[in-house]
Amino acid sequence: MPKPLDQREVDERLRRLNLRLFGPRDAAGNWHCLCLNCHGRVRISPSRLANKNAKLGCRTCSYAIRNRAQRISDDDARDLALAAGMKPQESYPGYHRPWLCECVSCGEPGKPRLANLRSRGSGCEPCARRTRADAKRLPAPQAEAVMRRAGLEPLVEYPGCARRWRCRCMTCKRVGHPTLINVRRLGRGCRGCGRYGIKWDEPAFVYLLEHQEHRSLKVGVTAQKPLAEPRVPRLCRRYGWCLVGKILLLTGEQAYEVEQSVLRWVRDDLGLPHHLTSAETEGATETFSADMVGVVDVMDKIRAEAQRVRAAGGGFWPS
């Protein structure tokens, strides 16, 4: 432990901090002092008094000196903003205050602070996002090579790593719309040929699960004859879900279409976000709150979407 300061050292350090002691130490061990600059009262802790690098003990005076050092003229501030690509639209408000400006490059309005303009060299957030995206964007020839290694032949120009890309499977000749991000992450692209999940041309279930403790619902699809442990019993055994109902469709493609239609209804029409996290269940992105929509309503929506798919050329059996 550091050696306690004696009264002589305390007085010497208070003089260096431009403070004068005017009261005894309180129960927390702090000294009550008077600032010789602004004549305001200051409570200084032992740790701050022991800091040999501190130049002032009064924070108010310290901030005032720092603000004076940062203060620049209006003309200099405008020159700095223009150098960062932002054209001011109002008078200079201050170093740390939002300043209405217009981007010289794209014309978008923004409210950067001069402090940020000086430290970052730019102030337009849309331009900054585009710059970051351009730095991370994979060139089109490399993106096409990634898709071909995954067994997909691109049919249109590269749209971007997170956009759906129309491709044809080199094996089954089906046309799909995977994203480059998913293909790079999974190492595969065609759902019909993938040796995982449901098979596109074999029967599959659309199911609805309920979790009483979390007050959550989950919709999903699973193969009628899975290669491994059936998904619904695994979710019930591991995470405490209960099966509400399921509908068997003629193909996995139809089941997937029904599932996605129901999820779009939940997310877009009802505005319900994900209810659980990946730590609480598998397939957390397919969960939503049971307090915001009824089980009967969701099951009716699944049946209606299955009827629509049937009318479009498929079939289903309730189970």
Non-local CB neighbours of 9 within 8 Å, separated by 6+ positions: none
Query: Can you tell me the distance from the alpha carbon of 110 to that of 103, in angstroms, rounded to the nearest whole number?
Result: 7
The yes-or-no verdict on residue 1 having pLDDT over 60 is no
Tell me the residue ranges of DSSP E strands in 164-310: 167-169, 175-176, 204-211, 216-223, 242-249, 287-289
What local confidence, expressed as pLDDT, does residue 202 receive? 83
The predicted structure's pLDDT at residue 173:
83
Do residues 42 and 35 touch, judged by C-beta distance below 8 A? yes
Q: How far apart are CA 247 and CA 253, in angstroms?
A: 14
Distance between CA atoms of 163 and 186, rounded to whole angstroms?
Answer: 16
Distance from chain centroid for Cα 33: 47
Paired tokens of 149 = 């290694």
How far apart (Å, rounded) are the C-alpha atoms in residues 206 and 266? 15
Determine the pLDDT at residue 192: 65
pLDDT tens-digit series, residues 135-159? 777 888 999 999 998 889 999 999 8
Bigger pLDDT: 313 vs 236: 236
pLDDT at residue 40 greater than cutoff 80:
yes
Amino acid at 287: T
- Cα 1–chain centre separation: 44
CA–CA dist 86, 130 (Å, integer): 16
Phi, psi of 230 (to 5 degrees): -55, 140
Give the tens place of pLDDT for each residue, 252-303. 888 989 999 999 999 999 999 999 998 899 888 899 999 999 999 999 999 9
pLDDT at 316: 42
The SS3 call for residue 9 is helix
3-state SS class at 8: helix
Report pLDDT digits (tens) over 184-239: 877 777 766 764 567 777 888 999 999 999 999 999 998 887 756 688 898 999 99
Looking at residue 7, its pLDDT comes to 74
CB atoms within 10 A of CB 57: 25
Please compute the mean of the pLDDT values over residues 74-97 and round it to a whole number.
Answer: 87
| CA atoms 40, 43, 46, 48: torsion sign | negative
- As to burial, measured by CB atoms within 10 angstroms (0-12 exposed, 13-18 middle, 19+ buried), residue 99 is buried
Domain ranges of the chain: 7-68, 71-132, 139-186, 204-318
What is residue 229's predicted lDDT score, i.e. its pLDDT? 64
Q: 0.75 exceeded by the pTM?
A: no
Nearest residue to 77 via CA among 107, 112, 108: 112
